[in-house]
Amino acid sequence: MIDWLELAESLITSPWLYAVLIAVSFLDSFLPLIPSEPVVILAGVYAATGPTDIVLVIAATTLGAFLGDLVPYSAGRLLGTRVLKRLPPGSKRRAAHDWFARELDARGGFILVTTRFIPVGRYLATLSTGLVDYPLGRYALFIGVATSTWSAYTALTGYLGGVVFQDNALLAFAVGIGLAFLVTGIVEGVRRLRSGRTATAPESAVD
């Protein structure tokens, strides 16, 4: 198994670092065990001390994440017809499917942007968006906003740590990871609060 952190650190002064950032953010969009955030934060830390370009870090991460988010969406589109046939009208599962489709239609941008910051949430949202046959154009627009925002936030948390703790890369990295967890927790809290104020979902997605 590839040690992505070690690989990124070994290439920190090489242009190949940006290829690693594209690859890790691409794979992390549909493989939960790939640790993209720590790798991007590490690149941000080193950008603050000189050898790495923060703009290229953000651009590479955005590109990889955007392309990666197309994978579960495409899988959902391919499976959508089969899944729908197994959801008879009137069932709780069909009600859950239809509810999610309505929620996306009403607030798709909010759902896709906020879930991008939640590791498990991003996989479920992008796959489900394909399953309900959400329009590709709108999906691409919203994940463009989501991935660029997520990439900038992740890289800049590392960059901020690197600026403040220039003489201690390990501490800067730890601070970046801490900030990432803090903001992710806030985003999840806001999402839950907002969800509680919207229309109630079907009682259960399972018969």
Q: Looking at residues 156-180, what average pLDDT do you find?
A: 60
Six token digits for residue 2: 């590839």
| pLDDT tens track for 90-138 | 677 767 777 777 878 877 788 888 888 877 778 888 888 888 888 999 8
Q: Looking at residues 149-153, what average pLDDT do you find?
A: 88
Q: Tokens 């201690």 appear where?
A: 168
Q: Is the pLDDT of residue 20 over 90?
A: yes
Give the closest residue to 141 by CA, choosing from 188, 174, 166, 104: 104
Q: In Å, how far are 44, 103, 106, 194, 202 from 199, measured between CA atoms?
A: 40, 9, 11, 10, 9
Q: In Å, how far are 34, 65, 187 from 143, measured between CA atoms?
A: 19, 9, 17
Q: Over pLDDT 90: what percentage of the chain?
A: 19
Q: Which helix (H) or strand (E) holds 38?
A: helix 36-49
Average pLDDT, the chain: 77
Q: Is the pLDDT of residue 9 over 50?
A: yes
| pLDDT tens track for 47-93 | 887 778 989 999 999 999 999 999 999 998 888 777 777 766 767 77
Asked if 43 and 11 count as a contact pair (C-beta separation under 8 A), the reply is no
Q: Where are the domains of the chain?
A: 4-197
Q: Is the pLDDT of residue 18 over 90?
A: yes
Q: 20-41 burial by CB neighbour count: b if 16+ within 10 A, else e? A: bbbbbbbbbbbeeebbbbbbbb
